[in-house]
Structure 1
Amino acid sequence: MDCGFYLYGIFPDAIPSTIAIKGLDSQPVYSQVIDGLSFLYSEAKQEKYLASRRNLLSHEKVLEQAMQEGFRTLLPLRFGLVVKSWDTVIIQLIKPYKEKLEELFQKLHDTREVSIKIFWNPKAELQAMMESNPSLKQQRDQMEGKALSMEEVIHIGQLIESNLTARKQSVIQTFFNELKPLANEVVESDPMTEDMIYNAAFLIPWDKESLFSERVEAIDQQFGERLRIRYNNFTAPYTFAQINA
């Protein structure tokens, strides 16, 4: 049963009407040109798609394969967007947001999104911080086994927290200082776990990825086993494709 069109993303120029990519439900992927913009789509076999890992990966794979085919400037659309007709696209997206779409395409021209997630071991960092700060370590050690007032507990806790925060910020600043000059834009997000200390996406010129990757590797070598770095070197620019209504 056909339920309309499942939309993946938009390109600023006309692209081939048929692309050798399979989308959701293993459907062929096509492009539809509307008002000069190319919409990447496949026939929708469901009215609503479950945000399962399999479906999400299929959505992302279509976009990444299209970019790897040479269609570099892409405005990705959110997962699960099904429309009944192309008139819906014209009325609800193109007409009200055409100017904003053009601005986004200028920003995203020939770029890709890469992301960095940095992890450390909080216990190991706390121990290393104490070893590098004898005065603070002495204060803490002197309090062990004593009945402390609330003020004393708060005071030593704040000292430890501020020193650990400074240690964390030093790591983050090293990454930022080295990588920001290669990026057109950076979006920093909240860490997702206790041991994650930095979570950021970088919008970089397509051809600077190899240099970006080299710098990530160099910083990784600098910190050795102290950090774990998760580097995603290629994705559609979701983080930077926000339309502000």
Structure 2
Amino acid sequence: MRYGFYLYGIFPLPGPQKLELEGLDKQPVKTHIFDDFVFLYSEAKQQRYLASRRNLLGHETVLEEAMHAGYRTVLPLKFGTIAESWQAVEKELLVPHRQQLHELLKQLTGNREVGIKIFWETNEELQRLLDLQPELKAKRDNLQGKVLSMEETIAIGQELERSLEAQKQGIIDRFHHELNALAIDRVENDPLTEAMIYNAAYLIPWDRETEFGDRVERLDRAFEGRLRIRYNNFTAPFNFARLNSD
């Protein structure tokens, strides 16, 4: 049974040519031209797709393989986007958002998304903080073994938290100083875990990725193993494909 079209992304004309890709449910990936947009799609065999790791990776892989094939300018669509018909695509997407889609594709032309996630060890950073601020360490040590009031407990906890936050921001500022000048745009997302202190996507020119990656490696060396950095240098630009709601 077919439930419509599963949509992966939008390309500018002329769009991908003769791609042999396998999409979700092992369906062949096809293209459909609508006005001056080219949609990458496959037949939807489910009414709703579970956001499982397998399905999410399948969605992303289709887009990344198209980019690897040389079709770099792509506006990725949200996972699970199913259209009952091309008339529905026109009514629900193109009519209200045509101008925004053009602007997003223009912004993405010649540019790519890279992602950075930074992790630290909270306990180690707290000890580093106390070593660097002996007055704060002495204040904490003087309270050990004493019966503290709720106000005293909260006060020392807040002071430690503020100092640790400042330490964290100092690291982030260092990355901003090194990387922001190479970026056309930047999106900062919420950390995914307690150990993650920075989660950002950068939009950079395709031909500056080597320089960007070198700077990330230089930062990694500068912190001498203090941080764990995850750098993704090839992904569809999901963070820069967001439509503004009216």
* Contact in 1 for aligned 2:3/2:44 (Cα 8 Å): yes
Q: How does 1:162-241 map to 2 (within 5 A)?
A: 162-241=162-241
Letter in 1 for 2:163: N
Post-superposition offset of 1:89:
1.1
Q: How does 1:1-245 map to 2 (within 5 A)?
A: 1-245=1-245
Q: Do 1:18 and 1:31's aligned partners in 2 also have CA atoms closer than 8 Å?
A: no
Identity of aligned residues (%): 56
Listed as ranges, the gaps of 5+ residues in structure 2 are none
Instruction: Quote the Cα distance in structure 1 between the aligned partners of 2:148 and 2:142.
Output: 11
> 2:241 corresponds to which letter in structure 1?
A
The alignment covers a number of residue pairs equal to 245
Which deviations, in whole Å up to 9, do the C-alpha atoms of 1:180-222 show, x marking residues without a partner? Answer: 1111111111111111111111111112111111111000000
Q: 1:35-69 deviations in whole A, cap 9, x for unaligned?
A: 01100011222222221111111100000111111
For the 8 Å contact 1:8–1:39, the answer to whether it is kept is yes
Contact in 2 for aligned 1:8/1:63 (Cα 8 Å): yes
Task: List gaps (5 residues or longer) in structure 1.
Answer: none
Deviations 1:86-142 (A, max 9, x none): 111112111221111111111111221111111111111111111111111111111
SS at match of 2:45: coil
Cα contact 1:11–1:37 (8 A) shared by 2 = yes
1:87 is matched by which residue type in structure 2?
Answer: Q
Q: CA deviation at 1:16?
A: 4.2
Shift of 1:154: 2.6
Letter in 1 for 2:111: T
**Which amino acid is 1:20 matched to?**
E
Question: Greater shift after overlay, 147-156 or 163-172?
Answer: 147-156
Partners of 2:16 and 2:66 within 8 A in 1: no
Give the whole-Å Cα distance in 1 for the aligned partners of 2:177 and 2:92: 41
Contact kept, 8 Å, 2:187 with 2:239, in 1: the verdict is yes
Length-normalised TM-score, structure 1: 0.96
Secondary structure of 2:57's counterpart equals: helix
Letter in 2 for 1:21: L
CA contact (8 A) 1:17 1:30 kept: no
- Give, as a single letter, the amino acid of the residue that structure 2 aligns with 1:219: L
